[in-house]
Chain A
Amino acid sequence: MGKSRRSMLFMPGNNPGMLQDAAILGADSIILDLEDAVSLTEKDSARILVRDAIKTIDYSQVEVVVRVNPLDTEFGPHDVDVIARVKPDTLLIPKANEEEIKLVDKMLDQIEIEEGHTPGSIKLIALIETALGLENVYCVIQASKRMVGVLLGGEDLTSDLGIARTKDGQEIFYARNKVATACRALKVDSIDTPFTDTNDFVGLAKDTAKAKSLGLTGKSAINPRQIEIIHSVFAPTEEELKHALRVLYAMEEAEKEGKGVCSLDGKMIDAPVINRAKTTVELGRSLGLIER
């Protein structure tokens, strides 16, 4: 499973070839989609396909997120029931509001008991794409301990707001701010809406930089070719790299001395800090920011 969510790649849940290759495309998370990418007539088969893919394909290098159908449709609860049993890392809940997150949370509690999964192990990300969800985003995040992030859905949101979606994205300025702030406050990830022109890489870089400047922590993608640019925008700063290297050095020194724990600048270094440092250094290396 990936260590960060700089990029979350949407992949249709009804395409076996894409499901087979999803893990190697370089995204931090893959979102296997049962909702918009799947027509009404293929909902059942896509659900089975995604279930079997999770069971059989090695996705250990990425976070596996499944976007289920909205809970108020006939497909949504069925998706949760089938998919949760094969233990994806995370479920992405479309048109999220407080009640639905609570409902899914409860369903997952039950399924985890039935399947013997660790309680609370399946995480949730809320897809905020309605005016109501946006205004309540703080409460939505608080609705479950499983919540690890919010993904902003720009297309549906602007549709719900009755306004036009533009490349410039001025119309989602407020939404980005709101989501970013709520997520920072509650220490979960905030993932920006996808940039829909898959051939405009300059525009993608600009749009991603804008999201980053507003405090969003990652961006969703609808084409694998967008991932590299998203990662380069979210690349670590020189300061972050230096700190990460110091963390890893401190950890190595502690290991040499046979210590189980270590500290840096008087602060304890725990597993999440080490994981983040490793991710930062790996990213810095892959981007050529630090020498091998």
Chain B
Amino acid sequence: MKTILGRELPEYIDGYGEVKPFQGAFSDGGIKTRKAVKLISVLPSDLKVLGNLEEALDRLNIKDGMTISFHHHLRNGDHVLNMVVEGLAKRGVKDLTVAASSIFPIHEPLVGHIENGVVTGLVSNYISGPVAEAVSKGKLKKPAIMQTHGGRARAIESGDLHIDVAFLAAPTADTYGNINGVYGDAACGTLGYAISDAAYADKTIAITDNLVPFPACPIQISQVFVDYVVQVESIGDPGGIVSGTTKITKDPVALIIAKKAAEVIKASGLVKDGMSFQTGAGGTSLAVAAELRNIMLREGVVGSFASGGVTGQLVEMLEEGLFKTLLDVQCFDLKAINSYRNNSTHQAMSASMYGNPHTKGAVVNCLDIMILGATEIDTEFNVNVTTGSNGVIMGGSGGHSDTAAGSKLSIVVTNLMKSRLPIIKDQVTTITTPGESIDVVVTERGIAVNPRRADLIEKLRNTNLPLVTIDELKTMAEKITGVPKGVQALEKIVAVVEYRDGSVIDVVRQVKDVRSYGRD
């Protein structure tokens, strides 16, 4: 069985189930339903606050084979996932599926629990570090399911991903379960990825290190979704929460790429009043934003919104009046957290509102310009951000596929070569985002526009930008680097890469040469 992109897939994957092959970015529209949620009424006499995590885990009655969920707003400072899984392991629970919106290096203890059978399934939008390596080595019993941010919300709301218990890391919670992320030692800002979990899990528990009297204002996640509240010493390390954030790169090559990308944006004609924009928090992406800022200032343009994971840089653009609103699913730094707390035009959004394709319109659909990264790109413009060139999992879509699909202009910015390896290949190791939703690839040595965008090619022809075909980019790189050997993979499928609509766009197979882990 093949996807529309020509990837060969089995019809059934053990530990995953029947495979619905990817048939195109918008092939799965039409009428959809949300799943019904069972509720247990809380009476006026009921108390939600439990004594400690131990009591909470006893009360939740988690059994073998259940699915427990976590969100990643505390990023590489998160303590909650580890402490919960450890607690369940002590209780002898086995065969758990951990549905965490992202998994970071701090979650290394999960590897031990994968090895001892406590955790046998993973569902996530992004996996990096030791857990990613363990999955790549084939240690997880079932294939990991890699989703997109919007795809995860879709899966939860449709019932495709059933959560038995959602554990919400709450920087602040009150005694009746109202939660916000803007106060407390582990303040992380918005809590967009946790909202579907809270609303659709059979049981939801808030774990906080800042328990306050009712009501905690502002309320980001409401008491109506929360069964229990428990206080622990610390839910996260603020150092790890804001880590990975980011300054505009000083790397001259990245700055060249950013400048070219900004020129592409300008030439596209989209820089005008009411425009919208999103970029990641990587150094090159931030440099593109800085270039765009200059263009907007010079031309007196005021945009409608900037969105996504929000950084201090976007906050500055909001405060300068370059955008009227920020739509924020996740704050990346303290400046963003402060802004969200204090500025009413800095609006939180759920992952579902952000990117769920089966809603009455996700925010990504309103995006004009999206800046994306890539580990590999193929000559059909398919992008890999899931695995490294050695086939080892090192990330995942996150919002990549969602925003690429929704935006009017999706631009991949990347060095043509990384660590002496060419980025453009005949076939990417893993397809994360289909080429049909990628418009432009900007490198330091040339710019390739997807032939589907004849309109854009026409506009860019009237500039001095170095326009080339994607094949020419590939040749250019290979002239310097040579053609690398393909990844040697085993048969075993270690991860299933779902597109945002739940179809399978690719699979990741166990890597043959384990010695190359982490050295790509």
Contact = CB atoms under 8 A, between A and B. Distances in A.
B445 interface: yes
Interface stretch (A21-29, A43-51, A83-91, A251-259): A21-29
B489 interface: no
Interface of A: 20-21, 24-26, 56-58, 223-225, 282, 285-286, 292
B444 A21 contact: yes
Contacts of B250: 225
A292 B252 contact: no
Contacts of B255: 224-225
Interface residues of B, number: 13
A292 B250 CA distance: 30
Interface string B242-281: 0000000010110110000000000000000000000000
Given A57-B480, A292-B462, A24 B417 contact: no
B253 A285 contact: no
Contacts of B480: 20, 56-57
B417 A225 contact: no
11 contacts: A20-B417, A20-B480, A21-B444, A24-B445, A25-B252, A224-B252, A282-B464, A285-B464, A286-B464, A292-B463, A292-B464
A25 B256 contact: yes
A163 to B, nearest CB: 32
Given A20-B417, A21-B444, 7 more contacts: A20-B480, A24-B256, A25-B252, A26-B256, A225-B250, A282-B464, A286-B464
List 6 A-B pairs, minimum CB-CB distance, nearest first. Answer: A224-B252, A24-B444, A21-B253, A25-B252, A24-B445, A225-B252
Most chain B C-beta atoms within 10 Å of own C-beta, residue among A20, A21, A25, A57: A21
B414 to A, nearest CB: 14
Nearest to B445: A24
Interface in B414-465: 417, 444-445, 462-464
Interface of B: 250, 252-253, 255-256, 417, 444-445, 462-464, 479-480
Contacts of B479: 58
A224 B464 CA distance: 21
Most chain B C-beta atoms within 10 Å of own C-beta, residue among A56, A224, A285, A292: A224
A223 B252 CA distance: 8
A24 B253 CA distance: 8
Nearest to A16: B420
B355 to A, nearest CB: 35
A221 to B, nearest CB: 11
Contacts of A286: 464
Contacts of A285: 464
Contacts of A20: 417, 480
Contacts of B252: 21, 25, 223-225
A106 to B, nearest CB: 36
A143 B45 CA distance: 100
Nearest to B252: A224
A182 B444 CA distance: 39
A136 to B, nearest CB: 36
B283 to A, nearest CB: 14
A25 B252 CA distance: 7
A143 to B, nearest CB: 35
Contacts of A58: 479
Nearest to A226: B252
A285 B462 CA distance: 12
Nearest to B481: A20
Contacts of A282: 464
Nearest to A25: B252
A272 to B, nearest CB: 23
A55 to B, nearest CB: 12
Contacts of B253: 21, 24-25
Contacts of A56: 480
Nearest to A285: B464
Nearest to B479: A58
Contacts of B464: 282, 285-286, 292
Nearest to B417: A20
Contacts of A292: 462-464
A25 B479 CA distance: 19
Nearest to A20: B480
A224 B417 CA distance: 19
A287 B253 CA distance: 19
B446 to A, nearest CB: 10
Nearest to A17: B420
Contacts of B256: 24-26
A7 B463 CA distance: 24
A20 B421 CA distance: 12
A58 B475 CA distance: 13
A224 B480 CA distance: 21
B462 to A, nearest CB: 7
A20 B445 CA distance: 11
Nearest to B444: A24
Contacts of B445: 24
A265 to B, nearest CB: 29
A49 to B, nearest CB: 14
A56 B482 CA distance: 12
Contacts of A24: 253, 256, 444-445
Nearest to B463: A292
Nearest to A224: B252
B258 to A, nearest CB: 12
A224 B462 CA distance: 27
